[in-house]
């Protein structure tokens, strides 16, 4: 074999190796670009899902705003939901447009690109259906009973109820829990809650009682003896009952329903039109003791109509406290809800709400996103609204309602919630 032929063979081999290397590099580059394209597409789809959830939230805010204008008796020129002319009472209930409106809230196709469709799902619940833990008039007995209903043992419930009261009140005197204490008896809260931290426990930070109302549900975890299981629960109380269901879940030993599902730091009163059965029972307990459960159950069953579910069209809601609307829907129709009982519990009850929980979910191309938003709704007098435009009579009607977001947090089980709503 000649020298020229050897050189030609070497060149051919080198060329083949160069081709192999270039092909490998090109293939890697193509895969990288393909992956980046997929990532960009995924990020785009996530952004679309976020926008869909935001659209659902805005739809909910519109419904809440229009409802409050309707209750004020003002003549709203344009609304997305028709209202009866005589429905001008200041109330909130589960049969109103903000609560029961599948056409505008459930599985709404809001975005379309080719054959790809994005949906949003919205659930609005009344935060005033929960126990007002910051209301100073609520008693240790009420709070302890609610803790028991969520799964806490009786003695522990009394201690935790005392800690809740001591945390929110302004004084430095420990609440009387009937001999159930965290440590030695003491004249002040600091000694009472830290009496067990002497000796080798000196390195443990002292418990500092806030002596001011709760700012969030998570703040409950700062209380001595409180656990995440008690606050957040070990089971979902809605798994067996559905949305707003008044029927109680049968707890098993060691299960906690979660205090966060029954307690609110935002409201100071409870809406009787949406109140949870466990919350009403706790408010009635100091007056009726063992009979409180029956009356609370009877009321919620009467209110929720034939389907025994809150936030549906057949809910029977009170539009006025004194039945001046003459619709014959009133607490007096429930046996045991006597004027005497009503007098004892009425200071905690209202028929209109200012705070709502909006769960807005979205589904697009296999991506599920969601947010939980606490919205506070306030009504402003005309004098409080800045006028604009040449004709003051054309002032934007809906500006009378001020909506403020108090809490905005992600929903981590969006897929499960969408399946439940679907």
SS (H, E, C) 245-270: ECCCCCCCCCCCCCHHHCEECCCCCE
Q: How many CB atoms lie within 10 A of CB 368?
A: 19
CA distances from 321 to 124, 193, 330, 355 (A): 24, 43, 8, 20
Q: Identify the burial level of 167 via C-beta atoms within 10 angstroms of its C-beta, where 0-12 means exposed, 13-18 middle and 19 or more buried.
A: buried
Q: How far apart are CA 313 and CA 289, in angstroms?
A: 33
DSSP string, 284-316: HHHHHGGGHHHHHHHHHHHHHTTTTBSSSTT--
**Residue 132 · residue 151 · CB < 8 Å:** no
Q: Which two tokens stand for residue 269?
A: 């009163």
Phi/psi at 231 (nearest 5 deg)? Answer: -75, -50
Q: Which two tokens stand for residue 132?
A: 């007002």
What is the residue extent of each domain of the chain?
A: 45-134+262-422
Q: Which two tokens stand for residue 303?
A: 């209110």
For 217, residues 6+ apart whose C-beta sits below 8 A from its C-beta are 231, 259, 260, 263, 265
Q: How far apart are CA 393 and CA 414, in angstroms?
A: 44
Q: What is the mean pLDDT of each run of 10 residues along the chain (422 residues)?
A: 65 84 84 82 92 96 89 62 67 92 90 91 96 97 97 94 95 81 67 66 69 96 94 83 53 86 97 96 96 96 92 92 84 92 95 96 94 93 61 54 92 90 76
Q: How far apart are CA 175 and CA 282, in angstroms?
A: 19
CA distances from 132 to 213, 265, 275, 349, 380 (A): 11, 6, 11, 10, 24
**Residue 378 · residue 404 · CB < 8 Å:** yes
**pLDDT score at 130:** 98
**Residue 229 · residue 251 · CB < 8 Å:** no
The number of residues in the chain equals 422
3-state SS class at 379 = strand
For CA atoms 295, 217, 210, 178, the dihedral sign is positive
DSSP 206: P
Q: How many CB atoms lie within 10 A of CB 398?
A: 16
pTM of the entire predicted model: 0.84
**Residue 304 · residue 317 · CB < 8 Å:** no
Q: How far apart are CA 95 and CA 313, in angstroms?
A: 5
**pLDDT score at 159:** 93
**Residue 112 · residue 118 · CB < 8 Å:** yes
Q: How far apart are CA 256 and CA 234, in angstroms?
A: 5
């Amino acid at each position: 074999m000649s020298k020229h032929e050897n050189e030609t063979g070497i060149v051919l081999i080198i060329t083949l190796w160069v081709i192999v290397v270039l092909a490998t590099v090109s293939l890697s580059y193509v895969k990288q670009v393909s992956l980046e394209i997929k990532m960009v597409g995924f990020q785009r789809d996530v952004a679309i899902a976020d926008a869909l959830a935001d659209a659902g939230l805005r739809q909910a805010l519109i419904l809440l705003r229009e409802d409050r204008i309707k209750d004020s008796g003002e003549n709203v020129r344009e609304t997305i939901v028709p209202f009866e002319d005589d429905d001008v009472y200041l109330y909130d209930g589960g049969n109103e447009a903000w609560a029961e409106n599948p056409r505008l809230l459930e599985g709404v196709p809001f975005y379309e690109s080719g054959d790809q469709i994005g949906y949003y799902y919205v659930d609005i619940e009344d935060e005033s259906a929960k126990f007002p833990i910051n209301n100073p008039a609520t008693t240790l007995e009420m709070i302890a009973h609610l803790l028991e209903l969520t799964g806490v043992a009786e003695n522990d419930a009394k201690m935790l109820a005392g800690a809740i009261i001591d945390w929110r009140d302004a004084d430095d005197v420990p609440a009387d829990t009937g001999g159930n204490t965290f440590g030695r008896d003491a004249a002040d809260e600091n000694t009472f809650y830290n009496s067990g931290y002497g000796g080798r426990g000196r390195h443990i930070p002292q418990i500092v009682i806030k002596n001011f109302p709760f700012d969030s549900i998570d703040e409950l975890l700062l209380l001595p003896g409180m656990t995440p299981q008690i606050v957040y629960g070990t089971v979902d109380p809605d798994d067996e009952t559905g949305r707003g269901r008044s029927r109680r879940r049968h707890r098993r030993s060691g299960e906690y329903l979660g205090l966060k599902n029954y307690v609110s730091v935002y409201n100071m009163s409870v809406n009787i039109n949406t109140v949870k059965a466990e919350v009403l029972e706790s408010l009635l307990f100091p007056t009726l003791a063992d009979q409180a459960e029956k009356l609370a159950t009877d009321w919620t069953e009467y209110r929720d109509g034939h389907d025994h579910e809150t936030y549906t069209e057949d809910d029977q809601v009170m539009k006025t406290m004194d039945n001046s609307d003459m619709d014959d829907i009133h607490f007096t129709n429930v046996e045991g809800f006597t004027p005497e009982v009503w007098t004892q519990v009425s200071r905690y009850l209202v028929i209109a709400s200012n705070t709502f929980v909006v769960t807005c979910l979205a589904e697009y191309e296999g991506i599920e996103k969601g947010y939980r938003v606490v919205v506070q709704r306030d009504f402003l007098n005309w004098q409080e609204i800045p006028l604009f435009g040449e004709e003051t009579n054309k002032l934007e009607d809906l500006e009378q309602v001020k909506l403020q977001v108090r809490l905005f947090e992600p929903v981590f089980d969006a897929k499960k919630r969408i399946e439940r709503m679907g």
